[in-house]
C-alpha cells in the first residue's frame, strides 16, 4: 500500500504591531511512509497487523489536522485490490484498532496537533479469515491531507 501526499493549507491571517511588517504563514511538509501488511495468510483467522507513519514538519509552531482518505473503499472497510480480487483492511489512530483514521466523517477520526511537527504512527490491520484470496500483490493508495 502506498501513501501519497497532498497538502492542503488554510490561509492564516495574523496581525502585526508594526505597520510595515507582513505576517508570514507557516509552511508544512508531509512525508508519509509506506505501510506493508507483509504476507497475508488467507487460511488464518488471525488479523494481520502493521505499523507505518506520517511525518509532519513545519517551519513554525502551528495547529494542524492530519486526515486520511478512504482509498479504494470507505472508512468502514478500506480495500486493497490485486489480480481482480479485494483484500479488506483498515487504518487506525490507535494500537488497539478502535478508531479508524479518516477525515472525521463516517465514524472516523483525524489527528489534531499544535507543534512544529511530529511523527504520527498509522496502525494497519487486515482482518483474518479472508479465505477467498489468491496469492498476489494487493495495494491501495491513501491520500494524506494536512490542513493548517
> Which grid coordinates are listed for 87?
483484500
- Tell me whether residue 37 is in a domain: yes
Q: Hey, CA dihedral for 53, 54, 56, 62, is it positive or negative?
A: negative
Per-residue pLDDT tens for 63-115? 999 999 999 999 999 999 998 999 999 999 999 999 999 999 999 999 999 99
- What range defines the domain where residue 34 resides? 2-9+26-131+140-147
Helix (H, G, I), strand (E, B) or coil at 11: coil
Question: Tell me, what's the pLDDT at 24?
Answer: 59
- Tell me whether residue 15 is in a domain: no
In this structure, are residues 57 and 115 in contact, taking their beta carbons and an 8 Å threshold?
A: no
The CATH number for 102's domain is 2.60.40.1090
Question: Tell me, what's the pLDDT at 26?
Answer: 81
- Tell me whether residue 79 is in a domain: yes
CB atoms within 10 A of CB 52: 19
Question: Tell me, what's the pLDDT at 122?
Answer: 98
pLDDT above 70 covers what percent of the chain? 83
Question: What's the rounded Cα separation, in Å, for the pair 29 and 46?
Answer: 36
Tell me, yes or no, if the pTM score tops 0.95.
Answer: no
133 — pLDDT class (breaks 50, 70, 90):
very high
Per-residue pLDDT tens for 35-46? 999 999 999 999
Mention every residue, 6+ apart, whose C-beta is less than 8 A from residue 89. Answer: 1, 37, 78, 79, 80, 124, 125, 126, 127, 140
Per-residue pLDDT tens for 8-21? 222 222 222 222 33
Question: What's the rounded Cα separation, in Å, for the pair 27 and 16?
Answer: 18
Closest C-alpha to 61, from 115, 13, 120: 115
Question: Tell me, what's the pLDDT at 60?
Answer: 95
Tell me how many domains the chain contains.
1
Amino acid at each position: 500500500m502506498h501513501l501519497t501526499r497532498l497538502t492542503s493549507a488554510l490561509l492564516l491571517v495574523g496581525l502585526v504591531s508594526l505597520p510595515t511588517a507582513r505576517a508570514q504563514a507557516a509552511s508544512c511538509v508531509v512525508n508519509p511512509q509506506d505501510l506493508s501488511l507483509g504476507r497475508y495468510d488467507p487460511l488464518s483467522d488471525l488479523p494481520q497487523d502493521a505499523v507505518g507513519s506520517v511525518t509532519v514538519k513545519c517551519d513554525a509552531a502551528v495547529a494542524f489536522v492530519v486526515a486520511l482518505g478512504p482509498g479504494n473503499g470507505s472508512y468502514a472497510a478500506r480495500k486493497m485490490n490485486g489480480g481482480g480480487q479485494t483484500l479488506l483492511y483498515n487504518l487506525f489512530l490507535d494500537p488497539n484498532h478502535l478508531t479508524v483514521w479518516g477525515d472525521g466523517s463516517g465514524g472516523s477520526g483525524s489527528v489534531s496537533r499544535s507543534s512544529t511537527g511530529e511523527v504520527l504512527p498509522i496502525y494497519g490491520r487486515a482482518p483474518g479469515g479472508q479465505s477467498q484470496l489468491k496469492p498476489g500483490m494487493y495495494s491501495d493508495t491513501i491520500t494524506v491531507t494536512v490542513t493548517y
